[in-house]
Chain A
Amino acid sequence: MPQAGNILLEIRNVTKDFPGTRALDNVSMEVREGEILGLCGENGAGKSTLMKILSGTYPYGTYEGEMVYQGEPLRLSGIRESEAKGVRIIHQELALVKQMSVAENIYLGAEPARFGIVNQMKLYSDTRALLDRVGLSVSETSLIGSLGVGQRQMVEIAKALRGHVRLLILDEPTSALNDAEVANLMSTLRDLRSRGVTCIYISHKLRELFDIADRITVIRDGRVIGTEKTADLTEDMVIAMMVGRAPTGRFPAKTRKPGPVMLKVRNWTIKDPENRELYAVRDVSFEVRSGEILGISGLMGSGRTELVQSLFGEYGVEVSGEMEIAGQRCTVKSSRDAIALGMGLVTEDRKTTGLITMHTVTSNIALPSLPRLSNGPVVNQSLELASTGQFIEELNIRVPAIDATVDTLSGGNQQKVSLAKWLMTNPRILMMDEPTRGIDVGTKYQIYEIMDRLAAAGMAIIMVSSELPEILGMSDRILVMHEGTVAAILERDEADAETIMSLATMGAEMGKMRSDENAARER
């Protein structure tokens, strides 16, 4: 039985270089038996590199320094070896095969088999045991594709727990989970801790770290800034360690002033493309002024993304309703029309729908603006380079080289590329779907500043966000969606986290009642 408090893993003076950059600079830290160690740092701080060394993705010899695990030097040749030693990583991007069942996924590559023939009964009963352990009540034969994101995350954890596990590493496990699912994950982790599984929990979300971690280690620019007991820390202290300066507030001061109405939407309705009897969005009406940021809040699946994508002409086949831009009635049949009318859409998922990650930063930024950067059909490459360079400079996008491909950038910088691409089209209306998902605190603040600056210059901004602090911190008005309808449109002064949550979870009537009750009780 492992002795709580003993050192399970020690990392000594690890340095890892990539051509042109030093990802880890003399990193030393220790993980104690049976603890949950929170690890945080901005994107690009070196967390992922460290975890890749720990899992054997970067084998021994490709870095300098030593690791000691259970009192012995740890010199890994690959992932298989780290798994055999009980080190498991759950990556940020889920790695499950949608077309296969829960059981098949969990035991993928380690099926209980004899002469290559899988023992189905053992497969299912072993899977059942693992699912029980993480408290997931789905059938072991259900297909992954039929599960929600939160359930998939739990399947990933169950998968990591197969066999002998000493050290579990979770990389941003909650970026796609709702609050209930997060709570479930936290209790599972606590349960695992009580059974002696040590855990490294990587996250940007400070609230979660403070909730679950015993100690917190902060990394910045490839160096360990410090490790402290969670009880001795405050959120502001951690942020200061992460960004290297005291936080001046998480949201910039407002410099914008709302002007005339820019976009007016009336009775916007979209049939669900997969089931024409249902509606993805129903009877949504709202307006946005120039110089205003309209926040759209709601649960996942409440129709927020569908709404902005359909306004951009790229969602749904049966869309009805009226749209007016700057007082002019208009119809948008495709993103081409939307762009011509001065709309831009920074999509929810920059990797799958926003950027062409294998192409250069320059060509990504220029893509929607190419007609303007061309003489006839011929692209003026010097003009392209000069104009995109301006945005790279203006948004402070950190690129290793001007012709670097997008996949070499950190998440925050990728998001800025996504933003630059639309700013270059010079839009009047900018829709941003989860503008700061999965990016670090420092870059978040920069993006908020940019948003305020754009609105101050007269742009109308629609921001879809799942993060309540962001909605409350950045919006001038807040539209709350519930099951495809508008639950309420709130002025900033009348909105608080509780009101929004109850509107989002229960819809207009129930939510209103609930918040009135709350207000009454407070009085």
Chain B
Amino acid sequence: MGKPEIGLSVGKQIVAGRVRDNLRAYTMVFALLVIWIALAFATQGTFLEPRNLSNLFRQTAINGYLAIGMVFIITAGHIDLSVGAVAGLAGAIAAMMQVHWLPALGAAWGIEWLQPGWPTTMIAILAAVAVGTIIGFWQGFWVAYGDVPAFIVTLGGLLIFRGTILGITKGVNIGPMDPSFRGLGQSYLGFAGGMSLAVLAVAGVFAFALAARRNKIKYNLAVRPLWVDVGIAGIYSALAVGFVITMQRYRGVPLPVVFLIVVAVVFSFIFRRTQLGRYTCAIGGNLDAARLSGLNVRRVTIQIFALMGALCGLAGIILTARLNAATANAGNQFELNAIASCVIGGTSLAGGAGSIPGALLGALVMASVDNGLSMLNVQAFWQQIIKGLILMTAVLMDAKSRSSSS
């Protein structure tokens, strides 16, 4: 008799709690819409045309990968200043592989498929991700076992990897890339691909909602009325389909954006639903309590830095693909954009709390301002000044809303 009743009140409270948590997210979405509407008016609607939106999302993608990893790092109470340099280095390694190293090896050993083509694209991708991961692992090791603050380790890393890029590229652009590589950054999902993506998203949303529902019932917890669950899943599905259709009206969903969506879903799951994600929050929330609860703090630290590194590798690949070359200053100052996106998106610099969808919204805000102001022919220096002010205002609003709610 007692148990189900508890379950019921528990369930009701969860719904109420979620709404309260999400209030922050709603404000963010609202702020983004205000920016979009303002820019739409200022550009006589050009800003919201599918062509520009497609562009906007493409611009968001690279920063998006880095911001996702940065959510883990900042939530754990650390910081990573090296992500731009690591992404640049990973991109440079990929370019060197495809343009110089593999062809030279192929020529020496007489292997035909080491000349530019899809096999070397695969190798270049693996190399870039591997380099990023290894670097992340290495830096994480310094932080976890060396007890050197992440700020210092990654500031050192920033210099080291910038230097390495210069060393291996000798300061010149490395390119062009094979079309199969270039496509990763420049091509679009066709109509069939876009539609299957939409169908997959809808199916995924519903499957997930139903699985969660079934699991709750299994443990005797109260569930929301079925129509609420279906309704929420429906809204998400409509958003997904609407997004694909809008993109379709230009050239389709850009490939980097497809990857970003997949990465975001996977990493959100890791962040919210796995032990690693929980431990990340716990370490940033109260290191001593986490340690005394039996957490392997060092292992978790290394793991999140390695994840961050892998995402840098991915960002580097897309960066090189989009520019069709690796350049010596690729990824310069990307770390600042990634950190700003996280903070705008509600990740606490004090550690313990963060949000991946929030960070992506933050990345979108930053990209929208860049994109919109460029369309308005605002000079580059103004763009930097405005972005700086937006960052500070976002944190100001957050701080004020927190102090008034407590």
Contacts and interface: CB of A to CB of B under 8 A. Distances in A.
Nearest to B348: A358
A344 B215 CA distance: 30
A83 interface: no
B33 interface: no
A181 interface: no
A347 B216 CA distance: 33
A400 to B, nearest CB: 9
B221 A382 contact: yes
Contacts of A118: none
Interface residues of B, number: 40
B4 to A, nearest CB: 11
A402 B292 contact: no
B234 interface: no
Given A335-B291, A367-B278, A379 B273 contact: yes
Contacts of B212: 382
Interface stretch (A170-178, A271-279, A383-391, A458-466): A383-391
B219 A359 contact: no
Contacts of B13: 401-403
A393 B2 contact: yes
A370 B275 contact: yes
Nearest to A355: B289
A164 B278 CA distance: 50
Contacts of B295: 336, 367
Nearest to A339: B294
Contacts of B269: 378
A337 to B, nearest CB: 9
Contacts of A380: 215
A355 to B, nearest CB: 6
B282 A359 contact: yes
B14 A356 contact: no
A359 to B, nearest CB: 6
Contacts of A389: 6-7, 10
B276 interface: yes
B296 interface: yes
Contact of A377 (B2, B275, B282, B292): B275
B221 A359 contact: no
Contact of B6 (A363, A371, A378, A393): A393
B201 interface: no
A336 B294 contact: yes
Contacts of A347: 289, 292
Given A312-B292, A347-B292, A421-B293, A381 B273 contact: yes
B242 interface: no
A355 B220 CA distance: 27
B353 interface: yes
Nearest to A408: B406
A359 B285 contact: yes
B275 A382 contact: no
A385 B219 contact: yes
Interface string B206-221: 0000001001101111
B290 A377 contact: no
Interface in B287-337: 288-296
Given A377-B276, A379-B278, A421-B293, A385 B17 contact: no
B288 to A, nearest CB: 4
Contact of B273 (A314, A358, A378): A378
A358 B352 contact: yes
B147 to A, nearest CB: 14
Interface residues of A, number: 38
A358 B286 CA distance: 9
A353 B287 CA distance: 8
A6 B218 CA distance: 66
A409 to B, nearest CB: 14
B264 to A, nearest CB: 18
A401 B296 CA distance: 30
A79 B275 CA distance: 43
Given A382-B221, A402-B14, A335 B275 contact: no
A385 B18 CA distance: 15
Given A359-B281, A370-B278, A402-B10, A382 B219 contact: yes
Nearest to B214: A382
Contacts of B276: 377
Chain A CB within 10 Å — which of B2, B14, B221, B289 has the most? B289
A334 B212 CA distance: 36
Contacts of A359: 281-282, 285, 352
B292 A353 contact: yes
Contacts of A358: 285, 352-353
A368 B294 contact: yes
Given A382-B219, A386-B220, A401-B13, A353 B275 contact: no
B274 interface: yes
Contacts of B352: 356, 358-359
A371 B7 CA distance: 23
A59 to B, nearest CB: 13
B221 to A, nearest CB: 6
A345 interface: yes
Interface string B250-282: 000000000000000000010001111011011
B145 to A, nearest CB: 14
Contact of A386 (B17, B221, B288, B290): B221
A382 B282 contact: no
Contact of A402 (B2, B17, B289): B17
B17 A335 contact: no
A338 B295 CA distance: 12
B276 to A, nearest CB: 6
Among A356, A374, A393, A403, the one with the most B-chain Cβ atoms within 10 Å of its Cβ is A356
Contacts of B9: 402
B6 to A, nearest CB: 6
B286 A355 contact: yes
A188 interface: no
A356 B289 contact: yes
A393 B17 CA distance: 19
A357 to B, nearest CB: 7
A385 B221 contact: yes
A354 interface: yes
A338 B285 contact: no
Contacts of A402: 9-10, 13-14, 17
Contact of A401 (B2, B16, B281): B16
A394 to B, nearest CB: 11
B396 to A, nearest CB: 20
B293 A335 contact: yes
Contacts of B293: 335, 367-368, 421
A401 B285 contact: no
B289 to A, nearest CB: 5
B269 to A, nearest CB: 8
Contacts of B292: 312, 314, 335, 345, 347, 353-354
A333 B293 CA distance: 14
A270 B192 CA distance: 69
23 contacts: A334-B294, A335-B294, A339-B294, A345-B292, A347-B289, A352-B289, A353-B289, A355-B289, A356-B290, A356-B352, A357-B286, A358-B352, A359-B285, A367-B282, A374-B274, A377-B275, A379-B278, A381-B273, A382-B218, A385-B219, A386-B7, A386-B220, A421-B293
Given A378-B274, A379-B274, A382-B218, 8 more contacts: A353-B288, A356-B286, A356-B352, A357-B286, A382-B215, A383-B219, A386-B219, A389-B7
Q: A-B pairs with the 9 shortest C-beta distances?
A: A403-B17, A356-B285, A386-B219, A401-B13, A339-B294, A368-B293, A356-B286, A382-B215, A382-B219
